[in-house]
Chain A
Amino acid sequence: DAGITQSPRYKITETGRQVTLMCHQTWSHSYMFWYRQDLGHGLRLIYYSAAADITDKGEVPDGYVVSRSKTENFPLTLESATRSQTSVYFCASSQGQGASYEQYFGPGTRLTVT
């Protein structure tokens, strides 16, 4: 199906484990983003990518790693998960490089770190 998908939708992991959240979009959008959503904080940008092989830090990048070898995929890795990374993670994409382009969001991954 066309669109933006995230997997897994739910994940429980233990402190110290590595976990990778997947994001895939079928539109060939140039921009992709990772956000986390926590009560009281709204949406916070973790990393973004303007194109394949181009990534940059957002507001809260510590403890996360991203890569973008293909335009359609933008995985987010927690190298050593901590309880403070328990959150709902959203991936988004945007088609253009202009400020007027809206974002398209995936359904989210709910991550619990025990």
Chain B
Amino acid sequence: GDSVTQMEGPVTLSEEAFLTINCTYTATGYPSLFWYVQYPGEGLQLLLKATKADDKGSNKGFEATYRKETTSFHLEKGSVQVSDSAVYFCALSLPLSGGSYIPTFGRGTSLIVHP
């Protein structure tokens, strides 16, 4: 079945460091891909998305490119801040037969940024 694999965390960085969180997927068909962020004590919120191959999603300095050839959607940021400390979830969405769709989430990667 469809699945999303994220790198294990926690990822610990110093402020202003470069961030990469790897995400690869397995899917039949052409999914839409998402990154969600969960700050402590809150629900998930959409960070960025890409709906077709070679699309780049970007938001708040984060970006990710939909790579169909490597089935990947790695999240990057050039200079992280303490306020970026959160859990990051990669997800895909594909239509099911019958027209419904159910998103599939990775297990999440915790990011800790130190001053």
A→B interface (CB under 8 Å): 40-43, 45, 48, 50, 56, 58, 90, 92, 97-108
Q: Are B105 and A42 in contact (CB under 8 A)?
A: yes
Interface string of B82-115 (1 = CB under 8 A from A): 0000000100011100011111011110000000
Q: How far is the CA of A84 from the CA of B109 in the complex (A)?
A: 24
Q: Are B102 and A48 in contact (CB under 8 A)?
A: yes
Residues of chain B within 8 A (CB-CB) of A42 are: 89, 105-108
Does residue B44 face the partner (Cβ distance < 8 Å to A)? yes
Most buried by A among B34, B44, B106: B44
Min Cβ gap A94→B in Å is 8
Min Cβ gap B88→A in Å is 12
Q: Which of B46, B89, B93, B105 contacts A99 (CB 8 A)?
A: B93
Q: Is the interface of A mostly helix, strand, loop or mixed?
A: loop
Which size class do B's interface residues fall under?
20 to 34
Min Cβ gap A53→B in Å is 14
Q: Are A105 and B44 in contact (CB under 8 A)?
A: yes
Q: How far is the CA of A43 from the CA of B36 in the complex (A)?
A: 12
Given A43-B105, A107-B43, A99 and B32 touching (CB < 8 A)? yes
Given A42-B89, A42-B106, A99 and B101 touching (CB < 8 A)? yes
Residues of chain A within 8 A (CB-CB) of B32 are: 99-100
Q: Are A43 and B102 in contact (CB under 8 A)?
A: no
Does residue B49 face the partner (Cβ distance < 8 Å to A)? yes
Q: Are B105 and A105 in contact (CB under 8 A)?
A: no
Q: Are B49 and A107 in contact (CB under 8 A)?
A: no
A to B CB contacts below 8 Å, 21 in the list: A42-B105, A42-B106, A42-B108, A45-B102, A48-B100, A50-B99, A56-B100, A90-B43, A92-B43, A97-B99, A98-B101, A99-B32, A99-B93, A99-B94, A100-B93, A102-B46, A103-B46, A105-B36, A105-B44, A108-B42, A108-B43
